[in-house]
Amino acid sequence: MASGRWNVGLGFLSIAGFVVLGFVLVYLRDLAPGKDEWIATYSTGDHFETRLAHAHGNLFALINIAMGLALPRLAMGDGAKRALAGLTLAGMLMPVGILGEVVLGTPPLFVLLGGAAMFVAVTWAGIEGLRTPVMS
């Protein structure tokens, strides 16, 4: 049975990682040499992209936790639940892809794939949630 265990576990670990990124952002803003230049690029370039990754990473991690907790309650077959869990996990490609663009200069392919996967996952879960009878 698809339990959502991976979504919950990796969701919490992703939050931990993106919290660390938040500490890095605070360091760059308040303590790092060249902080004035970093602050001046608040809404552009690497600064903006890194903040996007931080915000979306934490949001998508919370969606993974919610999905992992909801999956056992949805009236779907195990194969469909595994697919939904996998799509939600694949959504994490978006914030990781944003970081890849900033740090490694990778193309935005992972951002697009992750965003599309998360959109499909939450839409599918919403439809299934409406179709599933209330369970205690």
Ranges of each domain in the chain: 5-131
Angle at 61 between CA 60 and CA 66, to 5 degrees: 95
* Per-residue pLDDT, 3: 80
Tens-place pLDDT, residues 78-128: 999 999 999 999 999 999 999 999 999 999 999 999 999 999 999 999 999
What is this structure's pTM?
0.92
From 52, 35, 34, select the one nearest 43 (Cα to Cα): 52
Average pLDDT, the chain: 93
CA dihedral 117, 51, 109, 16 (to 10 degrees): -60
CB 66 within 8 Å of CB 118: no
From 57, 69, 63, select the one nearest 4 (Cα to Cα): 69
Q: What is the mean pLDDT of residues 62-83?
A: 95
